[in-house]
Amino acid sequence: MSNSLPPKPRIVGAKTRICIVASLYNEPFTNALTENAIAELRELIPHGRIDVIRVPGAFEIPVMVASVLQRDPPACIIALGLIIRGSTAHADLVGSSVTDALQRLAIQSLCPIIHEVLLLDDEQQAHARCIGPELNRGREAARAAAAMIHIFQELDRSVPRNTSVRNQRYA
């Protein structure tokens, strides 16, 4: 990812709903990711609805995303978590598993899933990406979500097809 935030897209539809699924593990960092994402979303989509669901750890994020998609798909889902590498391969295995699952869910559902489940080497990197102002991945995730919602809105307007489910997301 880049060192700067992407531009702020324009979102049409005051009732746009976004769901954030965030890990509780490494709480100071995941709380900061979540708070920054919410603050940015409130700026980008002032009248939108933001649902936040907290799960124990990064490994639990995909199953919750699948549940959200099955019950009432939002316009976009943001997955937030933090995995810090240790002396074993566990972190890499969890990171890979989460990434594969989230990508598969996004493709199957045609719902954008913004993946900011970070796999980092240490707390210094975590601080820079979760709490620091320059590489803030929570804000970056919110902007990516808004951009994807905007792209899907434009696509839905320009390519008529049976989009009754997708159109409900932007009412």
Task: Please give the positions annotated as active site.
Answer: 90
- Which amino acid appears at position 54 of this protein? R
CA 16 to the chain's CA centroid = 15
The Cα 66–Cα 106 span in angstroms is 9
At 10, list the tokens: 């324009």
Name the pairing type of β-strands 17-23 and 76-84.
parallel
The Cα 146–Cα 140 span in angstroms is 10
